[in-house]
Chain A
């Protein structure tokens, strides 16, 4: 099936031909007739607007849909071959993920896959590759998978419903830019009742829509045939996948988990951050077919690459070839040569031959290995001279071997999803080797890897290996070459001659210097050969360490060639002339202005004529000629530059397209190596990454089912800082602001009380403990509890008691006032960075970053520290006592009478001296006594009566209580009886 998304716009499509006979034609005919003949539809008004409101509503709905479709265009900077379309298959366990991948692979390549292990790349169309990846069922695996997915197939068990895994994965994807998502419903053949099936489908579909968007595609896998999914279903699904276009996600552009160029430090998820020691492009193991004009793919082109699933047999790397033959398929004993495996192509025969050749060697594997170790030992110094920055210790050599061998093929990384983490390539072989040579000298490393035996054969001059290999071959006398090339000038080095030159050199090289880290030198060599090399080399030199020497040397060599003279940095010439700070003076004055030492006399007619045409008064045509020369290089630059301003205001999208085209045209001018140097590897390149000093656990606990990603660290990403997230910090929080220093402050109130009060100032004690503290808070705002408005100044006062401050207030404060100072204290958050190292431990083991304080306390049996001051205590407040207001006599004197304090306070009792004495005569006294007695009698009577009444009342109350108790008892009995009856009646009724 031809891919629907190829952008081959030029090819005219075949015109549509209407069928003139058959069922379809008849159907169409009848339909048309009905319309014409009938003239009136059954319900002509059904499709016209009847109400203005409805029309308006529909209009606004259409507008809304239109608006929703609009988005800010994102510039797609990927140039060149598209990387494989990564399809992540995710779902809860036992939902059928592996089966789906197997079926899809079978559909694309017609090959049966025994197990799904690691990424699988297939060529699905003329310009399309699809890479399948099974998402592991743990959070780290999900995060990794979400980073690289172009399309996520969410498998859902229809018989069970949604599981949390799906939602977790959706959530993770949202954070990672949200790639395209398609649901696949499996296990729906378990339903016997078609209605129930339909309902379930609908329910799940709507739930799925709620999560993603209205109308998101949910695919139904109707059932199994012979343990595989229905062929028709798989076909349809494959079609859906092939028409799916990858969305340019801005997250992807900002987070180079796919494209590692230019980033020195890499981050291997689950292992930590590393420096990259080398990046090289490799031939794609699963290339796109040639762009010949034809429909569809031939079977031969339906390539298939699954390095970890035990399928690819022979693998070429930069410096080694891996032969990979399952043990049960072939036996390598000398006699049964005819027992060749069936499933092998051309390349395999070579591989088998190599292995067979191994049997002719005289030494055993162990001996070989040992020898290689010695070789390795001996060769080290030579290599080290080339890579001075790499510290390799010999002790770890064997370990490194292992690392190296094992790490091959581990990765699903980079732009195209597969590339290798190979830690080193130190195995060098001294001998010349030819493939078909009888005395081929190969070393073999045997290792048990991923449940099968792998043999790694290492040879140095393996001609078939790769162009890259030969390119890399540059020997030690690099400098000599360089100087040769420089001397010969740039004219000699046309682009064409370069490659042949290089390869020629490589062929006759004695094969002793094949070292991965020499890519730099070789790059440099290529740079040299390009046209613009001279000037670039002047600027960039070979390596920073050699820089100064190089420049000066070149300069002296090249000043006599007339062409180059102009482009010699002026500093050089000047240096000779007038002893200014030399070029390699590390303490040179930092000055951007460049003053020419010698001043030419511009009144000279000759000089004037030389720049006459640079002025508008000069010859315009000549000036145009000057610009023209440049335009030949940069094609349509000028018009683009002219349009520039208009475009900015106008179509953003168009501008982006123009910019992209411009980039492509500019970059295509350059030769391949320079381009790589400038731009980095393009998306879709198959690259090899070298990472050194990787912990061996990464290899030991390597599980091909878990993807290993390598990501670049963007600018500023490796700095510790604080992030502001809108909600709790989880795996899905998005960052609002990145701050290197968020101010986290805590409120603190310092309280004090006045010890001496002046008019508007007061001395406050108890707030500070030292004069230094007072000085720190000079000028701070303070308040009092009694709402006397803020005083503003705090001055220290040199008293004998430390920490007494003089404060100014708006008004006079009271001695009883509490003065407090509100301040903010910075809270230091301890910074701690702990990388998630799940890849360095068995995958099934749960990773623990660190123990919580509580866990630590529990483990060490440490009690929770108890701070007495932190305990809440009841607040005791004494009632305030106000002293009477005292008005000074002077002030009193001045006050008006109304406001004057009236100092005759009212007294309750007349004092004894002011009372009038009463003296009674005897008659009066008797009368008084009689009256008193009578009153006494009256009171006594009343008291007796009251006592009697009380007694009576008490008796009555007791009686009443008694009867009440009885009544209550009776009532309760009655009630119970009634309920029982009712209950019985109810029971009877129910029956």
Chain B
């Protein structure tokens, strides 16, 4: 009777989160003014690709897009999941862009999701697949998700499939950061000399040696068909603490994206492997300095997981809140009506967040 049906939002920001939260809360959303003032209005190819992905894994939903792509009406359905799915993520954003929402949706799917994603494994904007494998999937462990159900395999630099699971979340208290006991990492290179990786690792080790001796960075050199189509190299590093927290970063160097290349302009000079190694190592140390149980990239995901928990108190500690995390908190407030108590801890320069989970249940699953 007197109830508003669809949430009205505007702008393309936090597109993924909005869609994910709308799906999990089964509330329809209408997003308006998507880049309406832009020279190229409407949804970008990667956003459309994300909608396609949603379309693939869910059922009985409706996605309406107007002609210019500036207005989207999304009515979520049930996440079905399933095996042998395949999705082409395109070349505009990395696979990390798709994996972040997919991981959340996979937890609330009717059947486990097993999907083969094809696209860019490492790029500068999104967390790389290595980060996902080494750190993100382990994060879910703290919420009671069995790690065995999750699997991410990199077939070739270009197309990793993901095995999803279905779980019961449980509230957690995760505030002990611990101390960094080891640093692991994977460097990769495609269609370049294998020597480059060693140069990266050498540079990074140079910095880490001042702190900790237990540093191992593996190399993953790809050539031939498994190496994708374009040249690039990068590294992702994970610092593991004594309490099982994983702080990860990644850095990649590659030629600019297809849509950014102009025909007449020359290929820009790439960062040297040594610089990349130093940069990656500095970034990791920066994360360590910030503290918290997760790195800055995973803050948003962590908060969403907290909010989805059963109605128990969840307490987590993170470093500085990133803008993305702050926006995530707002989105959570809007969609799930969960507010966090945010308490700064001046001693360690970290922030403690507490919340009461919304108790989101997997409605799609069949009751036996």
Contact = CB atoms under 8 A, between A and B. Distances in A.
B322 A608 contact: no
Interface stretch (B112-120, B148-156, B218-226, B355-363): B355-363
Contacts of B47: 590
A742 to B, nearest CB: 9
B315 A590 contact: no
Given A592-B301, A678-B356, A715 B363 contact: yes
A571 B328 CA distance: 14
B16 interface: yes
Interface stretch (B159-167, B187-195, B253-261, B331-339): B331-339
Interface string A485-515: 0000000000000000000000000000000
B64 interface: no
B281 A740 contact: no
Contacts of B288: 611, 614-615
Contact of A641 (B77, B173, B344, B345): B173
A659 B312 contact: yes
Interface string B254-296: 0000000000000000000000000101110110110100001
A499 to B, nearest CB: 19
A715 B125 contact: no
Nearest to A535: B342
A571 B322 contact: yes
A663 B312 contact: yes
A693 B126 contact: no
Contact of B78 (A263, A677, A739): A739
Contact of B173 (A583, A662, A679, A835): A662
Interface residues of A, number: 93
A535 B349 CA distance: 13
Interface string B238-251: 00001000000000
A678 B171 contact: no
B179 A615 contact: yes
A719 B13 CA distance: 26
Contacts of B334: 544
A397 interface: no
B77 to A, nearest CB: 5
Contact of B324 (A536, A594, A659): A594
B35 A587 contact: yes
A638 B176 contact: yes
A839 to B, nearest CB: 12
Contact of B330 (A274, A547, A585): A547
Contacts of B296: 593-594
A599 B354 CA distance: 31
A716 B26 contact: yes
Interface string A550-587: 00000000000001001101110000000000010111
Contact of B180 (A541, A544, A615): A615
A600 B282 CA distance: 7
Given A630-B317, A630-B348, A659-B312, A586 B363 contact: no
Contacts of A547: 330
A272 interface: yes
A626 B176 CA distance: 10
Nearest to A713: B3
Contacts of B213: 617
Contacts of B30: none
A614 B311 contact: no
A741 B59 contact: yes
Contacts of B25: 715-716
A610 B290 CA distance: 11
B12 A586 contact: yes
Contacts of B341: 532, 536, 670, 674, 678
B349 to A, nearest CB: 6
Given A538-B326, A540-B330, A593-B125, A587 B176 contact: no
Nearest to A536: B342
B285 A591 contact: no
B300 interface: yes
Interface string B297-321: 1101100000000011101010011
Residue in B179, B300, B358 with the greatest tally of chain A CB atoms within 10 Å: B179
Contacts of B330: 539-541, 544, 547
Interface stretch (A124-132, A449-457, A730-738, A748-756): A730-738
A666 interface: yes
A741 B78 contact: yes
A616 B356 CA distance: 33
A677 B339 CA distance: 7
B337 A630 contact: no
Contact of B337 (A262, A608, A835): A262
B344 A535 contact: yes
A674 B16 CA distance: 30
B52 interface: no
A737 B11 contact: no
B367 A736 contact: yes
Contacts of A667: 313, 356
Contact of A617 (B211, B340, B351): B211
Contacts of B176: 627, 638, 641
A539 B326 contact: yes
A792 B34 CA distance: 47
A592 B248 CA distance: 13
A399 interface: no
B234 interface: no
Contacts of A634: 173, 175, 315, 352
A640 interface: yes
A716 B362 CA distance: 10
A721 interface: yes
A678 B339 contact: yes
Interface in B202-220: 207, 210-213
B342 A569 contact: no
A594 B326 contact: no
A620 interface: yes
Contacts of A596: 283, 286
A448 B323 CA distance: 58
A656 B96 CA distance: 36
A737 B366 contact: yes
B83 interface: no
B174 interface: yes
A32 interface: no
B348 A719 contact: no
Contact of B315 (A265, A666, A735): A666
Interface in A818-852: 835
A616 B174 contact: no
Given A638-B176, A739-B78, A599 B279 contact: yes
Contacts of B181: 615-616
B199 to A, nearest CB: 18
B13 A272 contact: no
Residue in A274, A588, A740 with the greatest tally of chain B CB atoms within 10 Å: A740
A273 interface: yes
B229 interface: no
Contacts of A591: 97, 125-126, 324
Given A587-B11, A715-B26, A627 B356 contact: no
Contacts of B78: 721, 739-741
- Top 5 A-B pairs, shortest CB-CB distance: A586-B11, A571-B323, A741-B60, A716-B26, A740-B60
Given A262-B337, A535-B344, 7 more contacts: A532-B344, A586-B10, A589-B13, A592-B298, A633-B343, A634-B352, A640-B173
22 contacts: A272-B1, A274-B3, A536-B340, A571-B323, A588-B12, A590-B14, A593-B126, A596-B283, A600-B282, A602-B207, A608-B211, A614-B291, A616-B180, A627-B177, A630-B345, A630-B348, A633-B345, A641-B174, A662-B312, A662-B313, A740-B59, A741-B59
Interface of A: 77, 254, 262-265, 272-275, 531-532, 535-536, 538-541, 544, 547, 563, 566-567, 569-571, 583, 585-596, 599-603, 608, 610-618, 620, 623, 626-627, 629-630, 633-634, 637-638, 640-641, 648, 659, 662-663, 666-667, 670, 674, 677-680, 692-693, 695, 715-716, 719, 721, 735-741, 835
